[in-house]
Structure 1
Amino acid sequence: MLEKRSSENIFEWAIKQNLEDLRMTYENEKDPKKQSVYLALYNYSLAKKQEKLIARKRFVR
C-alpha cells in the first residue's frame, strides 16, 4: 500500500500541472494502465480546480 505521504505528493503534483499537459500525456500514452493513471490524475486535478472556482464569492450558480 502506498504511504499516505507519498500519495499526497502525487495529488499535490497533479493539481500543480497544466490540465492541457495532463490531457495530452493521457492521450499520447500507449500503455493502457499508465493511460488510466494519467486520466485519473487529470480528473482529480480538474475536480479540485473546479471546487476552488465554485468556492469563490463571485461565482454565480
Structure 2
Amino acid sequence: MTKKEKAIAFAWQHTLLFIALYIMTLGIAACVKSLLGASVISVLPYVFHDAGIDGMVHH
C-alpha cells in the first residue's frame, strides 16, 4: 500500500466509526426517551447524546 492508500483507508475507517457511533447514540437516546433504560455498555453514546443536548441548551 502506498502512503496515499493508507491515509485514505485511515480516514475511511474513522469516518465509518463516527457514523456508527452516531447511529448507536440515536438508538440509546430513543431507549432512554422511551423510559426503557440504558445498559452499562451504552454509557459512552448516552454521554455523547447528553453532551450534545447540554451544549445546545447553554448556547
TM-score between both structures, scaled by the size of structure 2:
0.45
**Which one has the bigger helix percentage?**
2
| Greater RCO, 1 or 2 (C-alpha within 8 Å, sep 6+) | 1
- The structure having more radius of gyration, on CA atoms, is 2
